[in-house]
Structure 1
Amino acid sequence: MTTLMLCIGVGLYAFNAFLVSTTLPSAVSEIGGARLLPWASTLYLAASIVAGASAATLKSRMGARNALIGTTIVFLLGTLLAAHASSIAGVIVGRVLQGLGEGVVAAVCYMLIPEIYPRHLIPKVFGLEACVWALAAFGGPVLAGIVTETISWRAAFLINIPIVAIFLATALSVPTQHAAQALKTAIPASRLTLLLFAFILLLAANLTPLTISRNTMIGLSMAALVLFVVLDKSALESILPRGAFSSATAVGFGLWSVLLMPFAQASSGVYLVYSLQHLWHMGPTTAGTMGALIALSWSATAIGVANIGSGRMQKALIVASVAVEACGLAGVAFAILHPSLPLLTLSLIAIGAAFGMGWSFLNQTLMMASPDGERDKTSSLLPTLQSAGYALGAAFAGLVANSVGFSETATDLVVRQAVSISFFFGFIAVLPAIATSGLMLLKLQTDK
């Protein structure tokens, strides 16, 4: 029962992270707001990041069972609000509540694994969670597409309700020994608020028609992110591990790669399904299936390389994976600008394969490169940083596309150009990750 609960908790996060790519194009056709598409993705992820960083404190204060039940109810409220929204603003508010709830649920589920299971079973449980994530990432858009096409986009959101009901029932099985404990750390509210402020400024920059105002908002957002890192480094209880994003450590270089790879790929979550429906005139189910090719390719490739034990081969795959992602992003940009469905398909498979071939090795390398006292902090940061990359990438993708004229009333030519440019921006953004991955491995070699 507990294993089922953990799988549902992680699966819900993946399912809802990818759900909107299939449902929102249909929602926008009904209620408008295409220019706000990035908000639904970015604020869900931003809210989940803030909630995830607070999860340890909530678990300590409330106990695991109460924290899971309470935040699942918040998620359920967000689901109902999004499903019954009469405007895109209502959908976005619902998505924020979903992110706040599911961010805690996913984090607490991961925390419970080493507490509940004996050491020899932990790798198998984490492997099971990875399979659940891949299944939800692939099946979510497909299932949402079928429901959207046969019933409505609102019904696609409501798929969550029976899943949540099962989760709440299984959450009662959490052992009582994981109850509330004496509070040791406080929620870093000021730093998390600063981080959320940076995301909101980026999204607001998407909407202003004035170049000066837009550039000012972007500048303030970047300043807020830098200030967050500076304040965190001087905090007694930091969120980031020591040396994060620094050129002095291998971990510092590697974390840049962890951030930049999802940052560059985020355009697909915002605009891919929309493009397939409006430029290739696919239905939600077919478009959702195409959109899930990245997740399917990621999973298949990860299984294929899982048994590679050679450290030299693993390092080569880390660097090669970033180069393959760059090629895939460039291919998508070209395939949309000069319509080619076969090239688009191959490019999406390449992007997924890039993550499959190197992502797990990159994460393992960073965990092992961290000092013993920092290893847990680095490990817990990796999924959060991945979400931050997607959130920032979605905001910037919207900024780029909207500046070219993307909207629900734009002509097919304008949409084609805007979406193509947003993917090309991702191609440019991922190139530094080739260097940071190589420098990480070089630093590891010289530090031996």
Structure 2
Amino acid sequence: MSDTVDGRWAEIFGPRYLPVTIILALGVSLFAFNVFLSATALPSAVQELGGVEVISWATTLYLVFAIVGGAAAALIKRRVGSRMALVGLAGVFLFGTLIAATGGAMPQVLLGRAVQGFGEGVVAALCFALIPELFPSRLVPKVFGMQAVVWDIAAFGGPAGAGALTELISWRAAFLINVPLVLVFGLMVILVVPAGGRADGVARFPGLRLAAIGAGTLLVALAAIAPPGSAALLLLGAAISLAGAVWLDRRSAERLMPPDAFSLRTAVGSGLWLFLLMPVAGAATAVYLVLLLQQLWGYGPTLAAALGAVMAIGWSCSSVTVANVRKRSTRRILIRTGPILLACGLLAVLFSLETAQLPILVIGQFAIGMGFGISNGYIMLTIMEASTDGERDRTSTLLPTTQSAGNALGAALAGVAANAAGYAQAATSEAILSAIIPLFLMAVGFAALAWLAALRMVQLAKRTPIAEFASE
């Protein structure tokens, strides 16, 4: 593909690609809105059903099973084809929604959230796999820009919509709003998505590998709420479990991941490390900023959340802006610049909190969003282009799974760093400001590691033959 070939925004919303664009937007929105749903609707659920002590597990189980489902997505697609996989797992998500919405006790709600997570984890991963399958390379940055906007809408509209439904009708209505969305999604998939080829033979169920991925993710989630000493052991166990899953997968005849997953010897492996490390770094503000603004500056929840959302605005604006970049040399500059902006933004937010400077906080938040926005789409595109035709399904479906794992790992590490520095026991503003310094410095350190991974990825991508995607 020539560096001078460009695609227009109008194309992905034109007659040829509009149905597929809508399918991808719906698939991403189901995942995005349900990530934000629980924080708004579940407090009302526990008031009705009891079980406040397990409320956090509604989100934890959703994410754990979403990661497991995403890991299995490529195998499911090969076994039953694209259309059947998307429709079938959307049905699983719908079944989980109905379990949660009709729950008479919190354990039933938790079961429904776990089933929801597995179904939507597969659907979100398969939507990524459809991008190189149904769009030409020149339009892929536009598709990623559109997905960033969907996530931003979910970040703003998800809590507001769920809150309105909960307040005006019931927390159950906030779950049941998924039903029409899933039905529309399934109908459009049947009409638009090709069935796709099915692999011959019967593959062994990768139970051990999926169990290792699930166990590792669960240990990460537990580390986020454990005391520092126990959290360190839990994170060590998670690392062993996840590394074991990758090791077993490389030796399996029916792999879940590309053979060079997380190898620093290839552009794909280095890119996956970059895609994991950036969310780990960004978790410091994602997890703690809204709370810190309430504790340190006395802001109410709405104003604090609005400042937290500045990051999403920066992400959306920048991702849409750079989607028109045509030269690969410029795209590589954007990939290398993303982690630098992320690190600078984190330092600016820390400085603003220590000195009570609101303008610097806004600039820092916007810079963090820009760090993700200018680089994320081209990281994913470069990983897909560097992957071979036979491995592109596995590579594409691993991308959202890797990002979710980065968010989970980042939240756990942020909790460990903050608690180890005494944040949980801090009773004064001075003690809080002292405790968050290690948290932000750790985040900047992970941004630096992400920058090294970006350098390695770009270096290796220059030597890798570039693959074309869907035909024109």
Provide TM-score, normalisation by structure 2: 0.77
1:344 to partner: Cα distance:
1.7
- Tell me whether 1:253 sits opposite 2:267 in the alignment: no
Residue 97 of structure 2 corresponds to 76
Q: Which moved more, 1:430-439 or 1:157-166?
A: 157-166
SS at match of 2:240: helix
**TM-aligned CA distance change 1:305 to 1:136, over 3 Å:** closer
- Tell me whether 1:137 sits opposite 2:151 in the alignment: yes
Q: Which moved more, 1:303-312 or 1:184-193?
A: 184-193
| Structural mapping, 1:180-259, within 5 Å | 184-209=202-227, 211=229, 213-259=230-276
**TM-aligned CA distance change 1:150 to 1:114, over 3 Å:** closer
Q: Which amino acid aligns with 1:328?
A: G
Q: Which amino acid aligns with 1:244?
A: A
Residue 123 of structure 2 corresponds to 105
- Tell me whether 1:429 sits opposite 2:459 in the alignment: no
1:357 to partner: Cα distance:
1.4
**TM-aligned CA distance change 1:350 to 1:158, over 3 Å:** farther
Q: Which amino acid aligns with 1:188?
A: P
For structure 1, the residue ranges without an aligned partner over 5 or more in a row are none
Question: d(CA) in 2 for partners of 1:342 and 1:26?
Answer: 36
Contact 1:78 1:96 in 2 (8 A): no
Question: d(CA) in 2 for partners of 1:50 and 1:44?
Answer: 10
Q: Which moved more, 1:262-271 or 1:93-102?
A: 93-102
1:2 to partner: Cα distance:
5.7
1:69 to partner: Cα distance:
4.3
**TM-aligned CA distance change 1:55 to 1:437, over 3 Å:** closer
1:276 to partner: Cα distance:
3.4
Residue 13 of structure 1 corresponds to 31
Q: Which moved more, 1:320-329 or 1:67-76?
A: 67-76
Q: Which amino acid aligns with 2:403?
A: Q
**TM-aligned CA distance change 1:446 to 1:351, over 3 Å:** same
Residue 321 of structure 1 corresponds to 338
1:353 to partner: Cα distance:
0.5
**TM-aligned CA distance change 1:61 to 1:296, over 3 Å:** same
Residue 175 of structure 1 corresponds to 190
Contact 1:48 1:101 in 2 (8 A): yes
**TM-aligned CA distance change 1:102 to 1:286, over 3 Å:** farther
1:67 to partner: Cα distance:
0.9
Contact 1:250 1:440 in 2 (8 A): yes
Contact 2:26 2:185 in 1 (8 A): no
Question: d(CA) in 1 for partners of 2:105 and 2:236?
Answer: 33
**TM-aligned CA distance change 1:10 to 1:422, over 3 Å:** same
Question: d(CA) in 1 for partners of 2:308 and 2:172?
Answer: 18
Contact 1:74 1:101 in 2 (8 A): no
Question: d(CA) in 1 for partners of 2:241 and 2:434?
Answer: 31
Q: Which residue, out of 343, 351, 357, partners 1:340?
A: 357
For structure 2, the residue ranges without an aligned partner over 5 or more in a row are 1-17, 466-472
Contact 1:141 1:291 in 2 (8 A): no
Q: Which amino acid aligns with 1:251?
A: V
**TM-aligned CA distance change 1:95 to 1:428, over 3 Å:** farther
1:325 to partner: Cα distance:
0.6
How many residues end up aligned between the 2 structures? 438
1:164 to partner: Cα distance:
2.8
Residue 402 of structure 1 corresponds to 419
Contact 1:294 1:351 in 2 (8 A): yes
SS at match of 1:378: helix
**1:364-392 residue CA offsets vs partner (Å, 9 max, x unmatched):** 22222233433333233222212221121
Question: d(CA) in 1 for partners of 2:113 and 2:437?
Answer: 26
1:106 to partner: Cα distance:
2.2
- Tell me whether 1:44 sits opposite 2:65 in the alignment: no
**TM-aligned CA distance change 1:302 to 1:386, over 3 Å:** same
**TM-aligned CA distance change 1:101 to 1:285, over 3 Å:** farther
Question: d(CA) in 1 for partners of 2:421 and 2:102?
Answer: 32
Question: d(CA) in 2 for partners of 1:428 and 1:2?
Answer: 42
Contact 2:281 2:443 in 1 (8 A): yes
1:129 to partner: Cα distance:
6.8
Question: d(CA) in 1 for partners of 2:442 and 2:55?
Answer: 19
1:10 to partner: Cα distance:
1.5
Contact 1:25 1:274 in 2 (8 A): no
**TM-aligned CA distance change 1:290 to 1:44, over 3 Å:** farther
1:110 to partner: Cα distance:
4.6
**TM-aligned CA distance change 1:425 to 1:58, over 3 Å:** same
Contact 1:19 1:140 in 2 (8 A): no
**TM-aligned CA distance change 1:245 to 1:142, over 3 Å:** closer
Q: Which moved more, 1:152-161 or 1:51-60?
A: 152-161
Aligned Cα root-mean-square deviation (Å): 4.0
Residue 282 of structure 2 corresponds to 265
Contact 2:280 2:410 in 1 (8 A): yes
**TM-aligned CA distance change 1:75 to 1:421, over 3 Å:** farther
Contact 2:166 2:173 in 1 (8 A): no
**TM-aligned CA distance change 1:41 to 1:315, over 3 Å:** farther
Residue 369 of structure 2 corresponds to 352
Q: Which moved more, 1:42-51 or 1:340-349?
A: 42-51
Q: Which moved more, 1:95-104 or 1:357-366?
A: 95-104
1:51 to partner: Cα distance:
1.0
Provide TM-score, normalisation by structure 1: 0.81
Q: Which amino acid aligns with 2:427?
A: T
Question: d(CA) in 1 for partners of 2:258 and 2:75?
Answer: 18
